[in-house]
Structure 1
Amino acid sequence: MRLFDPTAGQLSVIVDAAYAVASGGGALEPEPIERDAIDAFQRHMLGQAEPRRSTGGPLPAALETSIPDPELRRQTVRQLAILSLVDGAMRREKVAVVEEAARRLGVSEFGLTVLSQLSKRQGRGHAFGFMKRVVAHYWSFDGRATMRDWLGMVWTAAPWMPGLGRYLGRGALLARYRALADLPPGSFGRAVHGYYAKHGFPMPGEPKSLPEGWARHEIYHVLSGYATNLQGELLLAGFIAGNTDELCLDIVLPALIQLHVGVKFVPGPVSQGKLQPDAFFRAMARGAAMQVDLLDGWRMWDVVEVPLEDLRRRYGIPPLTAPECEALAPHKALLPA
């Protein structure tokens, strides 16, 4: 995603569209958490110090004419999809407004299709398509899933298969990750090694480890500072959605559906009511401010020797403020300093 500075007219239309979603096209009263979320979205993603309020109703008639830019159209629809889940109920009336906005703005994405299916309780057909996209864009580094990438998934489930680890070069990969411990204290690579060691996660190359591409998920934790508990993972999903383009909705919608709505969507824990709107959209804005998309061919090995704080500055990641740290401390949503 990108951080936008909309015109006054665009802002008015976007906010009215957000309230159209929250009200299900005028059929429902927006919940307090939805009003808070729309405010937070405006503050952090649209740079509005004084968020605008609106009333519920149908989508604005000027939606298409006010937002001619294709990228702003896509981001608007993505944010409307996120806002449709804020009340924690995944109501069909609200998702239907998102679908209408996407149609009118000419936006089509896999994540929107999945959201539509789930809101109709027809989500069973999404699993294989979702896995294909994750393998292609998360486990692979170039957006094309090869046989080697799929074999990496087999390795995760059956590392005992004769010759598979050798064919995939797991031994050399593990040695390379273990060698990160020898880098200077404060370096990015040393921080990555320490993260794995502290949390007990299998490093790439170890039995039952995920393919190396998935290590970028752990690297997002290191760079963002968000913890690995449920609250931290939801904030991280917002951060990644802000940073990356292709998998934006693929990352953030499953996190919201499982950790806020409480509906099983993909393998992993299920909870309810984890969303803190201000912290979530702030995390998304921090990811959107980054100068590099980690899921677009980025390689850790090019920067392992760079000091972690220098790398954060180089990538343009806004530092966590003292009030943020204080607000998130009771939720243990941040990694230890």
Structure 2
Amino acid sequence: MTFLIPTHEQAHAGLRAMKTVLTAAGPLAPIRREALGAIQSHLLRTAVDLDALGPITPEELAAAIDDPALRTQLISGMVTLTLVRDTVADEEQAAIERFAAGLAVEPVTLAQLRKFQTERLMALRVDVIRRSLAGPGIKQLYEDQGFLGVVKNFGSFAGLWENSAVAERYRALENYPEGSLGKELWRFYRANDFKFPGEKHGAPEALLAHDLSHILGGYAADFQSEGLVLAFQAGYKRQDAFSVLVFLLLNGQHGLRLTAFAAPARGFYNDRPGAIDDVVRAFARGSRVKLDFTDHWDFWPVMERQVEELRREYGIEPA
């Protein structure tokens, strides 16, 4: 998404606004304090004393931040921060609404929060999925392979048939050079007992950017690592990046099942000190990547190249 770095004055005003939202219904929760500290450390590069921050009005915030893109990013950040905790108070949503009105922006994440708060969960699922990772991936699959390609991919995922030509191409990655992207992807699938695309119950090729982000980012496949790779992807995604973070938090903090690909959990981050810091760190790391791997990236031409070489080329920092 190319995270916009505010000036020191803008960052200070934004932090005041975020604290105003997060304390609208009571004291600042520890997990949200951790998130604000992580944002300062990994994104803003500031060290403001959160306890010394006073509230700010929408008018004051609008005077401090006039860039529409930065305003939209800030409101989306507010929505994401409210979801870091496993409950969202009506007073917190109301505070975000006032700030959004004062800044004259209407990010999609705010509409998603409204759906969540009013329990319009089916509409929420559809919107988050179509904007985060699965939706764009399926759209690109349709553009590349047409309707029949979509049917073949999801028929394989459902276990109805095997697409042998696709499956064999991925199985052949075993013979790629050691250390190459293709060989490491093959190892990743084998180590985690995942089915290859094209095999029965194998992931659709439309989602390969996610699996390859595991490899390029050096992330494992346990629940916590899945959250980190999603945050990493949100960082490098150029459109609807915050919808990926909304997906992550609805799935991991609020127990909302969004897709068949991600088992939900409630309050996963509550009792894991440092876990939210790791999520923000992964997002920040992704924001400095040079390429959006979800946007029509043709990975086959680089499958034989070394992972370390590709990390340097794409600007992927050491984990």
The answer on 1:250 being equivalent to 2:243 is yes
In the TM superposition, residue 285 of structure 1 has moved relative to its aligned partner by 0.4
In the superposition, relative to structure 1, how do residues 143 and 44 fare at CA in structure 2: closer, same or farther (>3 Å)?
farther
- Alignment match of 1:172 (pick from 144, 165, 178): 165
Counterpart in the other structure of 2:12: 12
Counterpart in the other structure of 1:156: 157
For 2:60 and 2:143, how far apart are their aligned partners in 1? 39
Counterpart in the other structure of 1:314: 313
For 1:179 and 1:307, how far apart are their aligned partners in 2? 17
Where in structure 2 are the equivalents of 1:215-254 lying within 5 Å? 215-254=208-247
Q: Structure 2: where are the runs of 5+ without partners? A: none
Kindly provide the amino acid, as one letter, of the partner of residue 32 in structure 1. P
Kindly provide the amino acid, as one letter, of the partner of residue 205 in structure 1. G
1:180–1:193 contact (8 Å) kept in structure 2: yes
Kindly provide the amino acid, as one letter, of the partner of residue 37 in structure 2. D
Kindly provide the amino acid, as one letter, of the partner of residue 36 in structure 2. I
For 1:183 and 1:314, how far apart are their aligned partners in 2? 20
Give the number of equivalent residue pairs. 309
Identical residues among aligned pairs (%): 29
In the TM superposition, residue 308 of structure 1 has moved relative to its aligned partner by 0.6
For 1:16 and 1:144, how far apart are their aligned partners in 2? 44
In the superposition, relative to structure 1, how do residues 226 and 135 fare at CA in structure 2: closer, same or farther (>3 Å)?
closer
- CA-to-aligned-CA distance 1:238-266 (integer Å, 9 cap, x gap): 11111113242332212212212334444
In the TM superposition, residue 131 of structure 1 has moved relative to its aligned partner by 4.5
In the superposition, relative to structure 1, how do residues 129 and 34 fare at CA in structure 2: closer, same or farther (>3 Å)?
closer
Classify the secondary structure of the residue corresponding to 1:84.
helix
The answer on 1:272 being equivalent to 2:273 is no
For 1:187 and 1:253, how far apart are their aligned partners in 2? 33
1:13–1:60 contact (8 Å) kept in structure 2: no
In the superposition, relative to structure 1, how do residues 136 and 237 fare at CA in structure 2: closer, same or farther (>3 Å)?
closer
In the TM superposition, residue 15 of structure 1 has moved relative to its aligned partner by 0.5
More off after superposition, 286-295 vs 147-156: 147-156
Kindly provide the amino acid, as one letter, of the partner of residue 187 in structure 2. G
Counterpart in the other structure of 2:95: 97
In the TM superposition, residue 219 of structure 1 has moved relative to its aligned partner by 1.0
In the TM superposition, residue 153 of structure 1 has moved relative to its aligned partner by 2.7
Classify the secondary structure of the residue corresponding to 1:141.
helix
Kindly provide the amino acid, as one letter, of the partner of residue 175 in structure 2. D
Kindly provide the amino acid, as one letter, of the partner of residue 60 in structure 2. A
In the TM superposition, residue 140 of structure 1 has moved relative to its aligned partner by 3.6
1:4–1:45 contact (8 Å) kept in structure 2: no
Classify the secondary structure of the residue corresponding to 2:253.
helix
For 1:56 and 1:16, how far apart are their aligned partners in 2? 6
Kindly provide the amino acid, as one letter, of the partner of residue 224 in structure 2. Q
Kindly provide the amino acid, as one letter, of the partner of residue 101 in structure 2. R
In the TM superposition, residue 227 of structure 1 has moved relative to its aligned partner by 1.9
Kindly provide the amino acid, as one letter, of the partner of residue 160 in structure 2. P
For 1:272 and 1:224, how far apart are their aligned partners in 2? 25
Kindly provide the amino acid, as one letter, of the partner of residue 153 in structure 1. F
In the superposition, relative to structure 1, how do residues 183 and 314 fare at CA in structure 2: closer, same or farther (>3 Å)?
same
TM-score by length of 2: 0.87
Q: Structure 1: where are the runs of 5+ without partners? A: 321-337
Counterpart in the other structure of 1:206: 199
Classify the secondary structure of the residue corresponding to 2:84.
coil
Counterpart in the other structure of 1:327: none
In the TM superposition, residue 132 of structure 1 has moved relative to its aligned partner by 4.3
For 1:100 and 1:153, how far apart are their aligned partners in 2? 43
Where in structure 2 are the equivalents of 1:39-78 lying within 5 Å? 39-48=37-46, 50-53=47-50, 54-55=52-53, 57=55, 59-78=57-76
Kindly provide the amino acid, as one letter, of the partner of residue 289 in structure 1. R
- CA-to-aligned-CA distance 1:147-178 (integer Å, 9 cap, x gap): 24642334422523xxxx6xxxx322222212
More off after superposition, 289-298 vs 35-44: 35-44
For 1:287 and 1:129, how far apart are their aligned partners in 2? 23
Classify the secondary structure of the residue corresponding to 1:205.
coil
- CA-to-aligned-CA distance 1:25-82 (integer Å, 9 cap, x gap): xx4211122122111112111222x244254645442322322223322221221111
For 2:240 and 2:122, how far apart are their aligned partners in 1? 20
In the superposition, relative to structure 1, how do residues 33 and 43 fare at CA in structure 2: closer, same or farther (>3 Å)?
same
In the superposition, relative to structure 1, how do residues 56 and 95 fare at CA in structure 2: closer, same or farther (>3 Å)?
farther
* Structure 1 vs Structure 2 CA RMSD: 2.5
Counterpart in the other structure of 1:113: 111
Counterpart in the other structure of 2:288: 289
